[in-house]
Structure 1
Amino acid sequence: MKLYQDWTPFYRLFTPPEEYAAEAAAYRAGFESAAPSAETLLELGAGAGHNAVHLKQRYRCTLTDLSEPMLALSRELNPECEHLLGDMRSLRLERTFDIVFVHDAVMYMLSEADLRAAIATAFIHTAPGGAAIFAPDCFRENFHEETVHWESGDAERQLRCTEWSWDPDPKDDWFAVEYAVLLREAGEVQMFHDHQQNGLFSREVWRRLLHEAGYTTQLIDRPLDDGALDQVWLCRRSG
């Protein structure tokens, strides 16, 4: 995926860290309700560390990701956090954490087997009495084809992006996301395209897999950019 490898020099133009503040506050509130004395946090699929910027104010964070270029970006923002390269489907750190956080990187689980493996990793690393949050972008029930346009920039670069989400085959477990990007830098404009696949599962599939792993579950609200709310999974591991 070019977005997390080749495009990392301008990744922060896509999603500035400050835009994560309200969302991260909702996750922190969820964690504090489920595990009020928690001190340590493991994030699976931490990416460039934009959630961790906010969560590290409360927790001691260990951040993992499959992409070394993304971890390098996170180290710039979060030098005090531990960073580890690893796949959320197979990572085993031989230790547990008070809370585990899985943000939108879980969307790259394209089959029930992949999703089950990621959930198992989270559960294994959740301490007894601890909690986990899984925050997919959408569920099958609320997915719809959409096109989003946005623009951003800094003193040296300007970016224009169109993101198109569509489902080639509603009978399978994934949908496509197309990114078309124009980047202007030093008076020159470059054009990029990235095709990605995201997993798409119903709330019932999610609930079943989370329960099979050993969690108890509830859905909690998360604020969206347009002021609306959607829901993510808050999970508890019994003590």
Structure 2
Amino acid sequence: MWKAYDELAWTEAWLEDPRGVEEEVATYRRLLEEHAHRPVREVLHLGCGAGAHDRALKRHFRMTGVDLNDAMLRLARRTNPEVEYHQGDMRSVRLGRQFDAVVIPDSIDYMASREELALALTTAREHLLPGGALLVVAKPRELFHDNNFAYTGERDGIHITVLENNYVRPPGDEQYEATLVYLIRQGGELDVQVDHHRLGLFTQATWEHAFREQELNLHQQDLEGIYEPFMIAEGEYPMRVFIGVVPGGGEAEA
């Protein structure tokens, strides 16, 4: 299991950017309400992490969250006690109910193969009502390149710096590597932790095919400015929002 989501999960509170998350969620809300063919009230968040997105999303929707990591779910429940959280794997979890929308704004990269991506989208599709919308934030391979980032935070006498290096593996390998170095200083003592992640990186055509396989009507919008403020040296970190809509639905179902 990755350190970032286990013994280092507590650092999320030091590193989060609430204003940035609010702006990000405003975009997602607009896209859901613009493209869904039914009123969006109940939303399932797959890969919800520590609940930062849910803190903003819950002001507009009734949220349910799923995450694989118990440490992250403990933080999410503490942050959002009114949100219903479940421990589960987005590749296989089944909650036995359907929602107006499913969102995966921050964790689809952990689907490290086409097979895993298909499983995650199948999970989302099976939890959607007619006319419901699936929103996924992705990094098409054509837009992605090697980058370095720095994140910092300080509170309770603890200062944290996280350096992240992204390395795109050679053509033909549908993955990239993210290596994180944590510098945690408390009481003059420095603790250094390293965490290494292998993540999926798929072409635009692969993404479009994955949505077609789920029989979802696809809409797209580019998303910029989320990670650029944290980049070391100038550069761009474009992402793309894919919104897949289930046929059917309509205002009559309100």
- Which is further off, 29-38 or 67-76? 29-38
Q: State the shift of 1:168 in Å.
A: 3.7
Cα deviations by residue, 1:49-95 (Å, 9 ceiling, x for unpaired)? 11111110010000000001101111111100000001000011111
Partner of 1:90, secondary structure, is coil
Q: 1:68 aligns with which of 67, 70, 79?
A: 70
Does 2:94 match 1:89?
A: no
Partner of 1:51, secondary structure, is helix
Q: State the shift of 1:154 in Å.
A: 1.5
Give 2:157's aligned residue: 156
Give 2:111's aligned residue: 109
Q: Identify unmatched segments of 5+ residues in structure 2.
A: 230-235, 249-254
Does 2:204 match 1:213?
A: no
Q: State the shift of 1:149 in Å.
A: 2.0
Does 2:237 match 1:235?
A: no
Contact 1:22 1:223 in 2 (8 A): no
AA aligned to 2:94 is R
Contact 2:42 2:62 in 1 (8 A): yes
Partner of 2:52, secondary structure, is coil
Does 2:183 match 1:182?
A: yes
Cα deviations by residue, 1:132-181 (Å, 9 ceiling, x for unpaired)? 10112x11001111111232212421111210001343321111111011
CA distance in 2, matches of 1:98, 1:238: 12
Contact 2:140 2:240 in 1 (8 A): no
Partner of 1:165, secondary structure, is strand
CA distance in 1, matches of 2:57, 2:150: 28
The 5-angstrom pairing of residues 34-73 of structure 1 reads: 34-35=35-36, 37-73=39-75
- Which is further off, 8-17 or 87-96? 8-17
Q: Tell me how large the CA RMSD over aligned residues is.
A: 1.5
Cα deviations by residue, 1:107-149 (Å, 9 ceiling, x for unpaired)? 011110000000000001011011110112x110011111112
AA aligned to 1:139 is P
CA distance in 2, matches of 1:127, 1:18: 31
TM-score, reference length from structure 1 = 0.95
Give 1:80's aligned residue: 82
Q: Identify unmatched segments of 5+ residues in structure 1.
A: none
CA distance in 1, matches of 2:117, 2:169: 21
Equivalenced residue count is 238
Give 2:21's aligned residue: 20
AA aligned to 1:94 is G
AA aligned to 2:165 is W
- Which is further off, 161-170 or 40-49? 161-170
